Every structure is written in C-alpha cells, then in structure tokens.
C-alpha cells in the first residue's frame, strides 16, 4: 500500500472475491485467467462474473490473445489492474486500514 493513498472505500472492490482478485493483481503482474482462477480457487463462472464487474468499473483490463502453443481457436485471457484500478485498490486498502485503526 502506498502512503500517499487517500482512504476511500470502494463497494465494487469490497466484495470478497473481487478483493482477493485485486489483492493478487496488486502485485503488479498481468496474470492469465486460469492461473488466477487456480490461485483463488474460484470457478470459471465466478471469476468471469467478478472480472466483468471490475472491468465495467475500469478497475481491471482484460485482454485475449491466441496462444502459439495451441492448435485450436481458444484464446488465453490475461488480466491486470488498470492505473485507475490500482489507485482505487490502494485507496480502498487505506480505508480498511483506517477502519482497523492502523
């Protein structure tokens, strides 16, 4: 968490699954959908639904690309925090710290 984050609670981020997604993405790397799903032990449908909510709020960016290792038409899905999303997550974490008295 950055010291400069102004505390601001986010109802979008606060959902348990979405908070966990943002927590993983906060580490900075772009993560492939299946890796994120497995890390968080979520179903495809649950992860997809929560990513859609986060993407609609411009908190995450989702991109799809064809895998050169695959012979079929399936694509890999990559997820990352947007710059605005990173600010929202940091502000939300600062608000939680403030609530907790840290």
CATH number at residue 44: 1.10.10.10
pLDDT tens across 19-52, in order?
999 999 999 889 999 999 999 999 999 999 999 9
Q: How many domains does the chain divide into?
A: 1
Inside any domain, residue 5: no
Considering the entire predicted model, what is its pTM? Answer: 0.87
Domain range for 63: 11-100
Answer whether residue 4 shows pLDDT above 80.
no
Number of H-type helices and E-type strands within the chain: 5, 3
Look at the alpha carbons of 65, 69, 72, 78 in this order and tell me if their dihedral is positive or negative: negative
């Amino acid at each position: 968490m950055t010291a400069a984050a102004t505390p601001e609670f986010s109802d979008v981020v606060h959902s348990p699954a979405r908070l966990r997604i943002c927590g993983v993405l906060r580490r900075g790397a772009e993560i492939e959908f299946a890796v994120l799903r497995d890390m968080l032990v979520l179903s495809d449908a649950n992860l997809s639904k929560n990513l859609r909510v986060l993407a609609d709020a411009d908190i995450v960016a989702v991109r799809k690309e064809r895998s050169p290792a695959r012979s079929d038409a399936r694509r890999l899905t990559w997820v990352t925090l947007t710059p605005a999303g990173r600010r929202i997550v940091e502000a939300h974490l600062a608000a939680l710290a403030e609530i907790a008295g840290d």
